[in-house]
């Protein structure tokens, strides 16, 4: 099948220009100056997509999702089937999910389990990072094997969640030294979990059980402290590439900016929830309502500078990527596990369907350029995690993962209309001045005018190379 996307404005990380895009099979064949592409009479079996007045952008890459993650006595409520379909609706054509090794488990078995969940169930392409929940001789050896043979080239460690995923400083240093040897990236959940657990116990003993105390017991200073410590350990390990996930705090961002200015291989991402939602307005909602927004790192105070600084960090590239940390839990029976004790609320917000739209709203609001929108949602994730130039760019030879985005369309986010397996929306009622019009995954139209045309099993596993940003 040949597709011609005609009349649109192609946006890439480096510029915006009118062009027609020809897709042959699963890949992009050519870009033409407007009107210079083939006509219907010249090519048989050609489908023309009229993109007049619309942007033509690379399919979104969400580099941080947790389908079916076991957490807090339950599982994230999206399967690879429901979650990747929802992602496609929202203009995301690749996810990088986190396979899990928990303390005491075997890394290879953890990865195999993740393949078992995803294989044959995905609507869009997918890749894996690996959570290393128990750094020891075996898991360090497994890191080499994953880089060399499995296409897994990034490893997440946790400075939070003692007893679950937590690594101490010695374990972190060893994993960083290993990553330095094999060229992979260390991704860090940077919060001082030992200190946080003390604050949680003190709050609970004072009878402070509401969801807002989740945020109050995870102060931004403890995100910053962990971020600074992670950077120091990465330096000591030989300047290991370090990627701080789900950054929410100004002080942590300042630490990353300082390290980057000094020339270190330090990168960071933020997520839409930290750009739009706040401790007071969401986590502090009356009664138990705030449980919907319990995630870690937590939402920050609107009376502090965090959101302003995060938007600025996105513009300056101190924040390289916007991912979702998609980790949905239903309110009923899942978030409710923490009724009367905020520390038992499963941590996570679902948003895989809304990232492209929510960041486009940043363009509308004058906080990001169009090119930077594309860069932070697609191109940089591809480069950062070894998928470029197959993904993340509209160029001949790249996979035909393309979104036609309508700046004149309107999107209202609601549980009534979303496709994620969640009984509420973290962004209920949010209005976006833009709309995903058509979504193409490897040359197949999977969404057109709100209608779903894709299929479970279309999505393929993407073994990844090393990051393009590292020598």
Quote the least distance from Cβ 388 to ligand DUC, whole Å.
26
Using CB positions, name the residue nearest to ligand DUC.
Answer: 295
Quote the least distance from Cβ 451 to ligand DUC, whole Å.
32
Quote the least distance from Cβ 11 to ligand DUC, whole Å.
31
Nearer to ligand DUC, 161 or 405 (CB): 161
- b/e per residue 161-174 (b: at least 16 CB within 10 A): beeebbbeeebbbb
The pairing of beta strand 15-18 with beta strand 9-12: antiparallel
Quote the least distance from Cβ 157 to Zn ion, whole Å.
10
Asked if 189 touches Zn ion (CB under 5 A), the answer is: yes
Asked if 62 touches Zn ion (CB under 5 A), the answer is: no
Say which entry of Zn ion, ligand DUC, none residue 348 contacts (CB below 5 to 8 A, set by partner kind): ligand DUC
| E strand intervals along 87-203 | 92-101, 125-132, 154-158, 185-189
Site for Zn ion (CB under 5 A): how many residues? 2
Residue in the block written with tokens 């679902």? 350
Asked if 325 touches Zn ion (CB under 5 A), the answer is: yes
Quote the least distance from Cβ 295 to Zn ion, whole Å.
9
Indicate the burial class of 192 (C-beta count within 10 angstroms; 0-12, 13-18, 19 or more). buried
Nearer to Zn ion, 57 or 188 (CB): 188
- Which residues in 291-320 contact ligand DUC (CB under 6 A)? 295-296
The secondary structure element, H or E, covering residue 364 is: helix 355-364
Say which entry of Zn ion, ligand DUC, none residue 295 contacts (CB below 5 to 8 A, set by partner kind): ligand DUC
- Which residues in 41-70 contact ligand DUC (CB under 6 A)? 66
Say which entry of ligand DUC, Zn ion, none residue 347 contacts (CB below 5 to 8 A, set by partner kind): ligand DUC
Nearer to Zn ion, 349 or 445 (CB): 349
d(CA 301, CA 219): 10
Asked if 154 touches ligand DUC (CB under 6 A), the answer is: no
Contact window for Zn ion (CB under 5 A) among 27-35, 186-194, 353-361, 458-466: 186-194
Using CB positions, name the residue nearest to Zn ion.
Answer: 189
Residue window 233-272: x/- pattern of binding to ligand DUC, with contact defined by CB under 6 A: ----------------------------------------
Nearest partner of 171 among 227, 132, 223, judged by Cα? 132
Residue 62 burial (CB count, 10 A):
32
Residue 280, phi-psi category: left (phi > 0), alpha (psi -120 to 50), beta (remainder): alpha
Nearer to ligand DUC, 68 or 325 (CB): 325
Alpha helices in 401-470 (DSSP H): none
Say which entry of Zn ion, ligand DUC, none residue 355 contacts (CB below 5 to 8 A, set by partner kind): none
- Return the residue of 121, 248, 324, 347 that touches ligand DUC, per CB under 6 A: 347
d(CA 126, CA 56): 22
Nearer to Zn ion, 189 or 372 (CB): 189
Non-local (6+) Cβ contacts of 46 within 8 A are 2, 3, 4, 38, 40
Asked if 326 touches ligand DUC (CB under 6 A), the answer is: no
DSSP notation for 216-267: HTS-HHHHHHHHHHHHHHHHHTTS--EEE-S---HHHHHHHHHHHHTT--EE
Residue in the block written with tokens 């946790």? 158
Asked if 192 touches ligand DUC (CB under 6 A), the answer is: no
Question: Which two three-digit tokens encode residue 464?
Answer: 């990844």
Nearer to ligand DUC, 4 or 130 (CB): 130
- Return the residue of 133, 290, 313, 348 that touches ligand DUC, per CB under 6 A: 348
Nearer to ligand DUC, 99 or 327 (CB): 327
Nearest partner of 49 among 7, 108, 99, judged by Cα? 7
Asked if 327 touches ligand DUC (CB under 6 A), the answer is: yes
Nearer to ligand DUC, 288 or 360 (CB): 288
d(CA 430, CA 316): 26
d(CA 11, CA 60): 13
d(CA 224, CA 233): 14
Quote the least distance from Cβ 98 to ligand DUC, whole Å.
8
d(CA 130, CA 118): 14
Indicate the burial class of 332 (C-beta count within 10 angstroms; 0-12, 13-18, 19 or more). exposed
Q: How far is CA 4 from CA 32, 55, 57, 125, in A?
A: 10, 14, 14, 22
Nearer to ligand DUC, 7 or 110 (CB): 110
Site for ligand DUC (CB under 6 A): how many residues? 9
Q: Residues interacting with Zn ion, by CB under 5 A?
A: 189, 325
Q: Residues interacting with ligand DUC, by CB under 6 A?
A: 66, 71, 189, 295-296, 325, 327, 347-348
């Amino acid at each position: 099948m040949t597709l011609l996307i005609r009349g649109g404005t192609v946006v890439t990380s480096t510029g915006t220009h009118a062009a027609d895009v020809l897709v042959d099979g699963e890949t992009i064949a050519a870009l033409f100056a407007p009107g210079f592409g083939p006509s219907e009479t010249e090519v048989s079996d050609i489908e023309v997509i009229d993109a007049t007045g619309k942007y033509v952008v690379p399919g979104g890459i969400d580099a941080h999702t947790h389908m079916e993650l076991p957490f807090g006595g339950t599982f994230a409520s999206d399967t690879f089937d429901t979650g990747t379909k929802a992602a496609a609706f929202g203009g995301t054509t690749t996810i990088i999910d986190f396979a899990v090794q928990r303390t005491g488990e075997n890394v290879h078995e953890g990865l195999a389990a993740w393949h078992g969940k995803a294989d044959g169930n995905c609507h869009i392409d997918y890749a894996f990072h690996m959570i290393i929940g128990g750094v020891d001789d075996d898991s360090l050896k497994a890191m080499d094997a994953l880089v060399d043979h499995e296409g897994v080239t990034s490893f997440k460690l946790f400075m939070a969640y003692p007893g679950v995923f937590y690594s101490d400083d010695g374990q972190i240093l060893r994993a960083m030294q290993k990553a330095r040897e094999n060229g992979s990236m260390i991704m860090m959940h940077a919060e001082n979990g030992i200190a946080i657990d003390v604050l949680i116990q003190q709050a609970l003993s004072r009878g402070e059980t509401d969801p807002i105390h989740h945020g109050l017991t995870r102060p931004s200073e403890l995100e910053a402290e962990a971020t600074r410590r992670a950077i120091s350990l990465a330096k000591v390990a030989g300047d290991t590439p370090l990627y701080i996930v789900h950054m929410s705090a100004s002080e942590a961002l300042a630490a990353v900016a300082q390290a980057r200015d000094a020339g270190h291989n330090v990168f960071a991402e933020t997520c839409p929830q930290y750009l739009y939602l706040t401790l007071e307005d969401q986590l502090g909602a009356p009664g138990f309502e705030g449980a919907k927004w319990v995630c870690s790192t937590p939402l920050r105070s609107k009376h502090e500078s965090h959101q302003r600084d995060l938007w600025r960090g996105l513009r300056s590239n101190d924040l390289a990527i916007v991912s979702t940390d998609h980790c949905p839990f239903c309110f009923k029976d899942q978030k409710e596990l923490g009724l009367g004790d905020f520390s038992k609320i499963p941590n996570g917000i679902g948003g895989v369907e809304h990232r492209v739209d929510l960041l486009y709203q940043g363009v509308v609001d004058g906080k990001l350029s169009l090119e930077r929108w594309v860069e932070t949602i697609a191109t940089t994730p591809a480069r950062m995690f070894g998928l470029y130039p197959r993904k993340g760019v509209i160029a001949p030879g790249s996979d035909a993962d393309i979104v036609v985005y309508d700046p004149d369309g309107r999107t209202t986010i609601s549980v009534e209309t979303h496709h994620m397996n969640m009984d509420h929306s973290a962004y209920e009622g949010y209005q976006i001045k833009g709309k995903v019009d058509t979504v193409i995954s490897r040359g197949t139209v999977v969404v057109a005018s709100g209608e779903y045309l894709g299929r479970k099993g279309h999505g393929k596993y993407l073994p990844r190379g090393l990051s393009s940003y590292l020598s």
